[in-house]
Amino acid sequence: MITSAAVASGTAAQNNPSVRWASDALRGTPEPAPTRPRVDVSRLTPRERQVFRLVTQGLTNQQISHALMLSEGTVKSYFNRICHKLALRNRVDAVILAYETGITGTMPEHGPAAKISTLPA
């Protein structure tokens, strides 16, 4: 909680992490970039792993739904559960995590059907 005394003395801004980071960057002594907490991808179900892999290969919800024969709503539900389990905010975070953990695999030639064929059974 920020008190009026902290605001008056100027310490309220100094205690704000964003202000402190910007101030350090301007002084030439930036804090190290935050590291992503270790996540356990094995917590995902086999279907969630399929959806995760297709998301990280750049497929849209519609393409994933066609490839896995699911509704778009179901794909969205799977991705929301994946984000919750792995502490991801969005698809960009998913792609970053996939590269960091080596989940990305190789990109198949063309289309969702080719992409799904590279997934383990």
User: Based on the structure, what is the number of domains in the chain?
Assistant: 2
- CB contact at 8 A, 15 and 6: yes
Residues 8 and 53 in one domain: no
End-to-end alpha-carbon separation of the chain, Å? Answer: 52
Whole-prediction pTM = 0.58
pLDDT (tens digit, 9 = 90+) per residue, 35-51? Answer: 666 778 889 999 999 99
Give the pLDDT confidence score for residue 121 in this predicted structure: 43
Asked whether the predicted pLDDT for residue 73 surpasses 90, the reply is yes
Same-domain status, 30 and 52? no
pLDDT at 21: 72
Position 89 pLDDT exceeds 90? yes
Which residues constitute the domain of residue 61? 41-116
pLDDT category at 13 given cuts 50, 70, 90 is low
Same domain, yes or no: 109 and 78: yes
pLDDT of residue 67 exceeding 60: yes
Indicate if 80 and 53 belong to the same structural domain: yes
C-alpha triplet 24, 1, 15: angle, nearest 5°? 10
Q: What percent of the chain has pLDDT over 70?
A: 62
